[in-house]
Structure 1
Amino acid sequence: MQNLMVITALGADRPGIVHELASAITETGSNIEDSRMIVLGGEFAILLMVSGRWNELAKLESSLPNCTKRLGLEVHIKRTEPGAKKEQLLPYTVEVVALDHPGIVAELANFFASREINIRELNTSSYAAAHTGTPMFSVHLAIDVPAGIHIATLREEFMGFCDQLNLDSMMEPAK
């Protein structure tokens, strides 16, 4: 059985954080399986899933606090297991662009949650529209649609939902 650990960390952004953290993980014999890292404001946010033998992860758990303290990171470590295989799921990608206003993410999340559709990944960004400078908001979602849901009906409901909220959107099978 594969041993897994999720690590989240947050601290002031500066060059070298990724190198030092990745080196500390590698030195224990552990391996980064999946990761997300991003600068948010002046902070650097890190989300990692690390694998290794139980003793390698134990070594990482004991050495990581000193490393992250030196890097000025707040860290949270949690052991986990591989995700359970659920019913047949169809991976879809959803893209939404709109004038920026509060509540877009909450409305989208409610639409999918009310249909028992899991959001596997969600990324957002705000930006100024070219030429006009109008505040815009972009959302990218990776969702898992249960195989029993009629896709044409879902797509029609989603497009109607987006039209009501004045959101430009696209839903298509993940590639």
Structure 2
Amino acid sequence: MQNNFLVISALGEDRAGIVNELSRVISDTGCNIEDSRMTVLGGDFAIILLVEGRWNELAKLEATLPGVGRRLGLAVHAKRTTPARREGNLLPYTVEVVSIDHPGIVNQLANFFSSREINIRDMATTSYAAAHTGTPMFQVQMTVDVPAAMHIARLREDFMDFCDQLNLDAIIEPVKG
């Protein structure tokens, strides 16, 4: 197994073909995309890739990236990393929250979990207008790693009380699959 990893992030004005160009460069160097997240935020395209390859393939990719970034009009950053360490005593839970949009929701949720030493592994947020009324709404979906020793029923009760105080509709449940 190769076990040499590079995280690549890129940001720039959105246009067709960016994913094609980036994935071609990665493939041409002999590397493989292990994991990725990409989205359009405002008028900009953002991507984060976890790439695996032999050390010399990753070095070739690292040397190629500045020119690729200039050609595609992207700010590109690359960093060597290690394989993810998954502790056996953590249970993945899905958290979904919907509410009327107002500043501070993400910070309040992050504080709730951080204060209990629960790591947020993945998070996506979106804003939208409610059907019929047009009310600005906010949605958060995240995956958190709950320590297995934690009393889950108590955590769920505390979280639901917390969300009720902030007028947030919420669900917390084990990750399915």
Q: What range is the shorter-chain TM-score in?
A: over 0.9
**Equivalent in the alignment of 2:35:** 34
Q: How does 1:75-154 map to 2 (within 5 A)?
A: 75-154=76-155
- Answering whether residue 174 of structure 2 is matched by residue 173 of structure 1, we say yes
- Answering whether residue 163 of structure 2 is matched by residue 155 of structure 1, we say no
**Equivalent in the alignment of 2:52:** 51
> Aligned equivalents of 2:86 and 2:127: distance in 1?
34
Using the size of structure 1 for normalisation, the TM-score is 0.98
Give the deviation of 1:67 after TM superposition: 1.1
Cα RMSD (Å) of the superposition?
Answer: 0.8
Give the deviation of 1:18 after TM superposition: 0.3
> Aligned equivalents of 2:64 and 2:162: distance in 1?
49
Percent identity over the alignment?
67
Alignment-mate amino acid for residue 84 of structure 1: R
Q: Per-residue displacement from partner, 1:59-118 (whole Å, max 9, x unpaired)?
A: 100111111110000011000001223351000000000000000000000000000000
Give the deviation of 1:27 after TM superposition: 0.1
> Aligned equivalents of 2:18 and 2:81: distance in 1?
24
The answer to whether the Cα contact below 8 Å between 1:87 and 1:146 also exists between their aligned partners in 2 is no
**Equivalent in the alignment of 2:67:** 66
Using the size of structure 2 for normalisation, the TM-score is 0.97
Equivalent position SS for 1:140: strand
> Aligned equivalents of 2:88 and 2:30: distance in 1?
34
Runs of 4 or more consecutive aligned structure 1 residues displaced over 6 Å after TM superposition: none
Count of residue pairs the alignment pairs up: 175
Q: Per-residue displacement from partner, 1:125-150 (whole Å, max 9, x unpaired)?
A: 00000000000000001000000100
Q: Give structure 1 stretches of 5+ with no counterpart.
A: none
**Equivalent in the alignment of 1:2:** 3
